[in-house]
Amino acid sequence: MRVDVLTIFPDYLSPLELSLVGKARQSGLLDLRVHDLREWTTDRHRTVDDTPFGGGAGMVMRPDVWGTALDAVLDGAGPADDVVLLVPTPAGEVFTQRTAEELAGAGRIVIACGRYEGIDARVTEHYAQRPGTTVREVSIGDYVLNGGEVAALVVVEAVARLLPGVVGNPESLVEESHGAAGLLEYPNYTKPAQWRGHEVPEVLTSGHHANIVRWRRDQALRRTAERRPELIERLPADSLDRADRTLLAELGWYVDANGPRPAEIRTAEPHDAAALAELAGLTFPLACPPTLPADAIAEFVATQLDEASFRRYLADPQRIIDVATDRRTGELLGYTMVVLDSPPPTDPSADGAAELSKCYVRPELHGGGIAGRLVARSRDAVARTGAQQLWLGTNVANRRARRFYERCGFAVVGKRRFEVGGLPQDDVVMSTPVTTS
C-alpha cells in the first residue's frame, strides 16, 4: 500500500520508522512517504497560512499551497483511481476500527495534516470532485490536538497492522477490542501465576477450554457494559446466546428483537395496575395447558387478573410485586408477585413460607434473563421478611416453566389442584430454601 503524508512537521512522523510499521516499510508491504508542505510554497517566508475571512482567532492554511502540493502528490506514483484523501480534523467523522478496515482496502491514502485553525474549506470541496478520489475528514476522538500529525500516526498504525503480512500472527487480530464482536477485549494474563499477591483467575489455568471461552466472553460483556454501554446497545440480538442474555440481565439489560436495551427492576407502584392487568391477561393463557377451555381461562383473567384485582394486590401489605420495565420507555416487560405467610399445600403447617404466586415475562422476551432477575429480587425481598422457603405451583404440562424454576434453584416437592375458571388443574409444587445472601 502507498501512503503519502503532507505536513509542515515531517519529523513528527519519524516514529513510523520504528516497530511493526517500520518493518512493514522495510519489507516493502508499506510504501510510506512523508512530504514537507513548505516545499510547495513560493514566497521568501515559505508561508502556508493566513488570517481567516470573517475574522476570528487563529490562522487558516491557504488553499493555493495545499492545491499545488496535493496535485503533485496525487499525480505522482500509486493508483490514480482508488485514492482516499484523508484530512485529520477534530470536526471530522470519528475514526474507528471500521474506518481502519475500509482504509486498509483502499489502493492509496494521502493524509493532509493541517495546523492552526485548519485548512481552507475549498480544498476538501475541490478534491471531492477529483475522479477516483474520496475525501474523508476524520477525528481520532473528542479532544483537540494542535494539528493532524498525531492523528496521522494513529491512522497509519491502525491501517498498517491490517495489511496482510504486517502482523506476524493474524490470529491476534481476531479477538481484539473493537473487532467484529463489537465488544471490548477480555483481560489477559501471563506468568508468573502469582505476582505481588495477585493471582491469575483460576479458570485460565484449569485447562477447561469451554469454560475459558465462556469466562472471557463474560469478561468482555462486563467490561463493555461498564465502560462503553453504547457498544452494548449496538450488539445484534442474534449474536447473543442464552448465557450472554442472562449475564446482560444481571447487568441491567434485556434483549428484544433489536438487541439489548436498558432495563429497570423495581417494586411495583399503584400506577402500574393497568399495565400489570394487561400483561397478565396476555401471559396467563400461555401458561395454561392446551386442554383448558378458553372461557375458563377468560373467567380467571377477568376475575383475578383484572386491573381492580391488581389494585388490591398492590395495596395488600402481604404481597410484594416487582416489575421489570424498559428504562427509556417505561414499558412493562415482566412482573413477579409474592404472597407472604402462605404455606405450601404440600406442607400446610410450614411456618414462614412465601408463595411465588406469579412470574410472567412478555413472551417475545422469554429466555432473555428478565424472569431470573425478577425471581432473584423476589427471593431477596422474601429473605428480608425472615421467611425460610419460597414455593410455587406451575401446571404439570408447562415443562418450560419447570425447567426455568429448576435453574433458579427450585425443586419439585409435590402436587396440588389449582382451579382455573372452576376447573381443577394439576400443578406441580416446587420449593426453594431462602437464605439471606
Q: By C-beta, is 147 or 344 nearer to ligand 6GU?
A: 147
Is 141 a binding residue for ligand 6GU by CB under 6 A? The answer is: yes
Q: Which stretch binds ligand 6GU (CB under 6 A): 140-148, 236-244, 408-416, 425-433?
A: 140-148
Is 139 a binding residue for ligand 6GU by CB under 6 A? The answer is: yes
* CB closest to ligand 6GU, residue no: 88
Is 151 a binding residue for ligand 6GU by CB under 6 A? The answer is: yes
Q: Site mask, ligand 6GU, residues 347-386, x = CB under 6 A? A: ----------------------------------------
Q: By C-beta, is 95 or 313 nearer to ligand 6GU?
A: 95
- Cβ at position 111, least distance to ligand 6GU in Å: 10
- Cα-atom radius of gyration of the chain, to the nearest Å? 32
Q: By C-beta, is 121 or 243 nearer to ligand 6GU?
A: 121
Q: Site mask, ligand 6GU, residues 277-306, x = CB under 6 A? A: ------------------------------
Is 140 a binding residue for ligand 6GU by CB under 6 A? The answer is: yes
Is 99 a binding residue for ligand 6GU by CB under 6 A? The answer is: no
Is 344 a binding residue for ligand 6GU by CB under 6 A? The answer is: no
Q: By C-beta, is 57 or 144 nearer to ligand 6GU?
A: 144
- Cβ at position 123, least distance to ligand 6GU in Å: 15
Q: By C-beta, is 88 or 368 nearer to ligand 6GU?
A: 88
For residues 25 and 54, the answer to whether their CB atoms sit within 8 Å is no
Is 336 a binding residue for ligand 6GU by CB under 6 A? The answer is: no
Is 210 a binding residue for ligand 6GU by CB under 6 A? The answer is: no
Q: Which of 10, 78, 88, 260 binds ligand 6GU (CB under 6 A)?
A: 88
Q: Give residues in contact with ligand 6GU (CB under 6 A).
A: 88-90, 139-141, 143-145, 147-148, 151
